[in-house]
Amino acid sequence: MNRAEAFFRNVTARGELGHAYLVEAESDEAALQTARLAAQLAQCETGTACGTCRSCRAFLSGNHPDIITLTRVKDQYGVGEVRDQLVEDIQIRPYSFSRKVYILPEAQRMGVPAQNAILKTLEEPPEYGLILLATSNRNALLPTVLSRLVMLNADEEAGEEEEAAEAYKAGQERFLEILGRAEYAGTSEWAALADNLKKDGLPAEEALNIFEKSLRDLYLAKGGANKDFFFPQLAEKTKGRAAYLPDEAIAELWEALAAAKARVKSNGNPSVVLELLGLTTRRILTEYKEN
Ligand SMILES: [Zn+2]
């Protein structure tokens, strides 16, 4: 199994599939094959690309109404072609499945105008949208396009099937460890966390999702919940914080998260983003504790 496939299987299993990916391989066929598998996984009723559910059968017979493979007439994609088949089409809700998935083969055959035409869609796809670019040459793509995509390699073998899952787990544990002592953790620790997450192969967006889940736990705890936490290992800590943090403090934490997400989206340095988030979190947690 290649790294891209392992990644897609893992995020699908966790229900954390994002919206825009670039699948890269030496050959266009290999990149496309993995992009197609990702599309199948995203729509499969069991999330496993089972091959037997209604969605998989439709896809394998080439008749899936909500998996669209872009085509082009000439050597290069025309602006009109990407506009009709992707930019405008994606605004129409899925026909009969939960998502609407777009596969763009040989993405390097988009010239600058076509790339610019899809920029906004890549940045703000509808909630149900999933865009999969396949390419054998990412260098042909503009930095502005690349910055909006999670890039995955379909040539390198995932050492083991679970490799990506293990890396994710390791990344999550690193993050939770810092969150557990967010009242004390210094900025350099948050910066080091960012570096480690990068080594784990955890994109900054996904790291921030962990933070978001911890905020949801905080809400749950504030409502008196004692179970169903995303992170039961932090339950005591979370309940302790919920006991003294007023609603406005939690609102401030959400704002800090939203700001961090916006910075990541506009290609901010993940170390700086996490440092700032850590600093703000510590300030909020300690400020209200003192009052
Ligand atoms: Zn299926």
CATH at residue 14: 3.40.50.300
Same domain, residue pair 138 and 257: no
118 or 177: which leads in pLDDT: 118
Ligand 1 center to 47 CA (angstroms): 7
How does the average pLDDT of the chain come out, rounded?
90
Answer whether residue 158 is part of any domain: no
Same domain, residue pair 176 and 135: no
90 or 168: which leads in pLDDT: 90
Ligand 1 center to 255 CA (angstroms): 38
Answer whether residue 225 is part of any domain: yes
Same domain, residue pair 206 and 147: no
Any idea what the CATH number is for the domain that residue 269 is in?
1.20.272
H or E element in which residue 180 lies: helix 163-180
Answer whether residue 258 is part of any domain: yes
> Chain-centre distance of CA 168, in angstroms?
12
Ligand 1 center to 133 CA (angstroms): 22
Is pLDDT above 80 for 86?
yes
Is pLDDT above 60 for 6?
yes
Mapped onto helix, strand or coil, the DSSP state of residue 123 is: helix
Mean pLDDT of 182-186: 87
Same domain, residue pair 189 and 120: no
**Closest alpha carbon to 86 in 41, 24, 30, 130:** 130
Ligand 1 center to 53 CA (angstroms): 4
**pLDDT tens column, 71-81:** 999 999 999 99
Ligand 1 center to 8 CA (angstroms): 14
The whole-number pLDDT of residue 254 equals: 95
Same domain, residue pair 100 and 182: no
Ligand 1 center to 59 CA (angstroms): 9
Give the domain extent around 222: 163-290
Residue count of the chain: 291
Same domain, residue pair 30 and 93: yes
Ligand 1 center to 46 CA (angstroms): 6
**Number of domains, the chain:** 2
Answer whether residue 235 is part of any domain: yes
The whole-number pLDDT of residue 163 equals: 63
Ligand 1 center to 57 CA (angstroms): 7
The tokens for 163 are 């490799």
Distance CA 70, CA 150 (A): 19
Q: What is the pTM of this model?
A: 0.59
Ligand 1 center to 154 CA (angstroms): 21
Ligand 1 center to 263 CA (angstroms): 36
Same domain, residue pair 171 and 112: no
How buried is residue 166: exposed, middle or buried, by Cβ count under 10 Å (0-12/13-18/19+)? middle
The whole-number pLDDT of residue 97 equals: 92
Ligand 1 center to 60 CA (angstroms): 10
**pLDDT tens column, 208-247:** 988 999 999 999 999 888 777 888 778 889 999 999 999 9
Same domain, residue pair 114 and 203: no
Q: State whether the Cα torsion 209-213-216-222 is positive or negative.
A: negative
Ligand 1 center to 51 CA (angstroms): 5
What does DSSP say about strands 150-153 and 67-69: parallel, antiparallel, or unpaired?
unpaired
Same domain, residue pair 67 and 182: no
Same domain, residue pair 183 and 64: no
Mapped onto helix, strand or coil, the DSSP state of residue 142 is: coil
Answer whether residue 134 is part of any domain: yes
Ligand 1 center to 100 CA (angstroms): 15
Mean pLDDT of 52-62: 94
The whole-number pLDDT of residue 188 equals: 84
Answer whether residue 19 is part of any domain: yes
Is pLDDT above 80 for 165?
no
Ligand 1 center to 226 CA (angstroms): 35
Amino acid of residue 200 = D
Same domain, residue pair 93 and 210: no
Where among 153, 174, 197 does a domain terminate? 153
- 206: pLDDT confidence band, cut at 50, 70 and 90? confident
Same domain, residue pair 130 and 11: yes
Answer whether residue 47 is part of any domain: yes
DSSP state of 93: P
Is pLDDT above 80 for 252?
yes
Ligand 1 center to 101 CA (angstroms): 15
Where among 119, 153, 187 does a domain terminate? 153
Ligand 1 center to 72 CA (angstroms): 28
Answer whether residue 209 is part of any domain: yes
Mean pLDDT of 178-193: 86
Is pLDDT above 70 for 17?
yes
Where among 117, 132, 153 does a domain terminate? 153
Ligand 1 center to 176 CA (angstroms): 33
Mean pLDDT of 167-175: 74
